[in-house]
Amino acid sequence: MKQFFIFVKKEWLHIWRDRRTLVILIGMPIVQIVLYGFALTNEVKNSRVAVFDQSNDDATRAIIQEINASRYFSVTDYVHSYQAIGATFRKGKIRLAVVFPQDFQNDLLQRNTAEVQLIADASDPNTANTLTNYAAAIINDYQQRVDENRDLPYTIKTQLRMLYNPELKSAYNFVPGVMALVLMLVCAMMTSIAIVREKELGTMEVILVSPLRPFRVIIAKTIPYLAVSILNIACILVLSVYVLNVPINGSLLLLIAESVLFIVTALSIGILISNGARTQQSAMFASMLSLFLPTLLFSGFLFPIENMPWPLQLISNLVPAKWYYNIVEAVMIKGLGFSAIWKETLILVAMTVFLLGLSIRNFKIRLA
Amino acid sequence: MRTLKFLLQKEFRQILRDPSIFRILFIAPMIQLLILPLAADYQIKNINLGVVDQDHSQYSQILVNKIVSSGYFKLKDYSASFPQALHAMELDKADVILEIPAHFQRDLVSRDAAPLFIAANAINGIKAGLGTAYIQQIIQHYNQDVRTQWIQFPRYAPQPTIDVEYSDWYNPYMNYQFFMVPGILVMLLTIIGSNFAALNIVKEKELGTIEQINVSPIKKTYFILGKLIPFWVLALVVLTLGLTIARFVYGIIPLGHYITIYIFSAVYLLAVLGLGLLLSTYAQTQQQSFLVAFFITMIFNIMSGLFTPIESMPHWAQVITWFNPVAYFIQVMRMVILKGSGLSDIRNQLFAVLGFAVFLNTWAILNYRKRT
């Protein structure tokens, strides 16, 4: 046991004495959580709109004014031909164009039907979709207000409630996702480098001839990084609550326990990668390429998993970040207890045991 | 010039003789490019619907059928009470709950008005916003149907309605891959380019071989160029592979010219590689260099406008994106491929990236010291 602690101490000194790296390891998650927490948002705000109004009457002016007044849009360009709309789109200035035909108000009042065209720049289909829907809703509202004066019979009155996030803040969705992303990458990369580095610099020989068993060598290597990661998670949680105003509605203790579990999963992935790699360079690239994009895409916070083709849905089950994201969302935002997340927890535990077992089995006690 | 030639020979050999580099540089990105774009579909469809029907009437049946047949919703949960439905939402089985109170049909027909309750899981604000917008539209149409059913024509003329027509320019089928594939290619190029460059010089430092270069008659500029050019060539090969996959696997044929893409990429890569080399001249260990390069490229990529629109960011974050070469590349890819923009349309972006390239590489050359 004493040998073991000496080993832990050795690892700790490696980290502690390389102050620059330590600053990077602790500073990186802090900067990222703040930056992404504020900047990653798909709320549309003040999207630029061009108007091609061939009618120019009270009704069209009222609708334009309402579009301009909503927080989603600001009407910036008035154009006088379809060609001009194309030109404005190509310059990348506007996202949406609203076209009113001639005699809009007349048609609306006399013939009871009038047309309006919404042209979206669908080169970003996601935003285009959202914008046309919002604009259609504003026009719809206007129409209903026109109708209201008539006191219609047989009216269904819908009441709407937004649960968990009434202000529709993006941070509620993104903060748990960013937590999963940052923890996974930082933890896995740190450990994968730590082991390969000894190989590359030749100090691995010394470790391999030491009386410590491979199992213990690996555990000793990860413990200091576990400590750094727990410090990271503490920083992330404090920032989420006090800077990004994302509440912790559930149990803080449960959240921390689950985070530690996820960190251990990430650390074991790091060890596994380091077993296969010969140089620090290949270890770093392996962890980066196999973790960054898959974690980003398959955890479900950016792209809904249920939209993916089924083989990818199956793959997404192998991404630990997906389960952790579900857990954080349930505990932090929905305020649920352990009974709601036992399945996810079990999956993470199983993954960790499997990965650790695999990396210990593959730990080579001879240099090639 | 002869020095440069030998340096290049050395670098190319060093790179090409490492089998892991081949895997990292060519195979890994191409696999990612083949798989990941399929995952990146943001269209809001398949919204899970939970229904609490306390009316059990013909009307409530028709309404639910109408919502499900719209194609946006999947009826996943049918609960007897709202708390039960809420539990289904907690387990992510329902994204939107529609509650039809008792006597819905009776109230609507005999009292001229009836309420409906909709509750949405708003953690993902966009999903909740669009989901409730869709369902409200359907309810409105349904309401219209009920009216025409009960009111005879002479007594009541149909109300004025505004027909909204939609046109989606540049990508009429709303194909998300047209946007994601070039974007992911840009991300992969950036990650590989900057990180490889970031590791290169510092690797020589860590292994001690930098000593030999320091005592040899190699000019600083040549040294940096010798490091820059091999990666630049390899990255262009990766770009070509990526564009080939985009064309033949995803059917993405740019409206603009490939030449425009290559001209921009050539300059862009100089900037990205320059950044890596600059970090490399500062770092003491590969670990430091890689972590910082990774940190910067991750921020560049996530804040590039690929995943979330730049206009939505707070102003200070938008200012940060002015210094983000990836954001320019994403814009250019989108413009050239989908809108057919030419060199004159993208000149601002080109000059910006050229500025980065000159600035970063000059800094790297100045900062490289031939002593330890």
**What DSSP character marks residue A57?**
S
Choice among A179-183, B127-131, B368-372 with the minimum mean pLDDT: B368-372
Q: What is the mean pLDDT of residues A154-165?
A: 75
Is residue A85 exposed (0-12), middle (13-18) or buried (19+ Cβ within 10 Å)?
Answer: buried
Classify burial at B259, counting beta carbons within 10 Å of its beta carbon; exposed 0-12, middle 13-18, buried 19 or more.
exposed
pLDDT per residue as tens digits for the range B242-290 = 999 999 998 888 888 899 999 999 999 999 999 998 988 888 888 788 8
Which pLDDT does position A162 carry in this prediction?
76
pLDDT band at B371 (very low <50, low <70, confident <90, very high): low
Examine the pLDDT at B154 and tell me if it is beyond 60: no
**Same structural domain, A77 and A196:** no
A280 and A301 part of one domain: yes
DSSP A159-198: EEEEES-TT--HHHHHHHHHHHHHHHHHHHHHHHHHHHHH
Instruction: Identify the pLDDT of residue A94.
Output: 84
For chain B, where do the domains classified as CATH 3.40.1710.10 start and end? 47-155
Contact present, B195 and B276 (Cβ < 8 Å): yes
Q: What SS3 class is residue B322?
A: coil
Convert the pLDDT of each residue in A40-65 to its tens digit. Answer: 777 777 788 999 988 888 888 988 99
Least confident window among A199-213, A243-257, B253-267:
A199-213
Whether residues A143 and B195 touch (CB distance < 8 A) is answered with no
| pLDDT bracket for residue B158 (50, 70, 90) | low
Shared domain check, A243 and A323? yes
Which residue in A34, A74, A123, A322 has the most chain B C-beta atoms within 10 A of its own C-beta, making it the best mutation to test that interface? Answer: A123
Shared domain check, A110 and A180: no
CA dist B249 and A196 (Å) reads: 37
Number of domains in chain A: 2
Q: How far is B129 from chain A (nearest CA, A)?
A: 8
CB contact under 8 A, B32 and A289: yes
Q: Pick the residue from chain A with its C-alpha nearest to B285.
A: A21
- Which DSSP letter does residue B57 get? S
Tell me if B168 and A294 make a contact (CB, 8 A cut-off).
no
CB contact under 8 A, A158 and B109: no
Among chain B residues, the shortest Cα distance to A302 is held by: B307
Segment A194-199 shows an average pLDDT of 81
Residue A159 inside a domain? The answer is: no
Q: What one-character-per-residue DSSP string does A78-109 give?
A: E-SSHHHHHHHHHTT--SEEEEE-TTHHHIII
Residue A1 in domain: no
pLDDT (0 to 100) of residue B153: 54
Two tokens at A329? 């969302």
Q: What is the mean pLDDT of chain A?
A: 84
CATH code: domain of residue A85: 3.40.1710.10
- DSSP class of residue A333 equals I
Residue A158 pLDDT > 80 = no
Mean pLDDT computed over A82-90: 82
Supply the pLDDT for residue A182: 85
Predicted local confidence at residue A254, as pLDDT: 94
Q: What is the pLDDT of residue B260?
A: 92
What is the bridge-based pairing of β-strands A113-121 and A96-100? antiparallel
Residue, of A43 and A132, whose pLDDT is higher:
A132
Same domain, A324 and A175: yes
* Residue B155 predicted with pLDDT over 60: no
Nearest to A125 among B24, B174, B207 (CB): B174
A75 located within any domain: yes
In this structure, are A316 and A234 located in the same domain?
yes
Helix-then-strand count for chain A, H and E: 14, 5
Cα gap B353→A341, rounded to integer Å:
47
Residues A31 and A58 placed together within one structural domain of the fold? no
The pLDDT confidence band at residue B113, using thresholds 50, 70 and 90, is: confident
Instruction: Give the chain B residue whose CA is nearest to the CA of A125.
Output: B174
Do residue A302 and residue A255 come from a single domain? Answer: yes
Question: How confident is the model over B291-302, as pLDDT tens digits?
Answer: 888 888 888 888
Say what the pLDDT of residue A312 is.
86
Which residue of A lies nearest to B45 if distances are taken between CA atoms? A307
For residues A52 and A36, state if they share a domain: no
Q: Are residues A288 and A172 in the same domain?
A: yes
CB A49 within 8 A of CB A98: yes
Residue B157: per-residue pLDDT: 52
Q: Do B176 and A126 touch (CB under 8 A)?
A: yes
pLDDT of residue B239: 93
Task: Look at residue A352 and tell me whether its pLDDT is greater than 70.
Answer: yes
Determine, for residues A122 and B42 on separate chains, whether the beta-carbon distance falls below 8 Å: no
Query: Which pLDDT score, from 0 to 100, does residue B159 have?
Result: 65
Q: Is the pLDDT of residue B202 over 70?
A: yes
**For position B192, what pLDDT does the model report?**
84
Q: Decide if pLDDT at B156 tops 70.
A: no
Question: For residue A130, what are the domain limits?
Answer: 47-148
Q: Is residue A36 domain-shared with residue A55, that is, in the same domain?
A: no
Instruction: Calculate the average pLDDT of chain B.
Output: 84
Per the model's pLDDT, the better-predicted residue between B163 and B224 turns out to be B224
Residue A365: predicted pLDDT: 65
Lowest-confidence range among A60-74, A128-142, A335-349? A128-142
- Percentage of chain A exceeding pLDDT 90: 12
Class for the domain spanning B47-155: alpha beta
Which residue has better confidence, B1 or B98?
A: B98
Q: What are phi and psi of B327, to 5 degrees?
A: -60, -40
Position A140 confidence tier, pLDDT thresholds 50, 70, 90: confident
User: Does A261 map to a domain?
Assistant: yes
Domain boundary among A148, A183, A209: A148
Determine, yes or no, domain membership for A289: yes
Decide if A92 touches B, using CB distance below 8 A.
Answer: yes
- Using the predicted structure, report yes or no on whether residue B169 has a pLDDT greater than 60: yes
Q: For A38, which of B290, B314, B331 is closest by C-beta distance?
A: B314
The one-letter amino acid code at B43 reads Q
Please provide the size of chain A in residues. Answer: 368
**A161 in a structural domain:** no
Six token digits for residue B333:
């890819």
Among A148, A183, A203, the domain boundary falls at A148
Residue A129 lies in a domain: yes
Query: What whole-number distance in Å separates Cα of residue A134 and Cα of residue A125?
Result: 14
Residue A351 located in a structural domain:
yes
Q: With CB atoms and an 8 Å threshold, state whether B286 touches A31.
A: no
Give the Cα separation of B350 and B195 in Å (integer).
Answer: 22
- What pLDDT is stored for residue B326 in this prediction? 93
Whether A79 and A188 share a structural domain: no
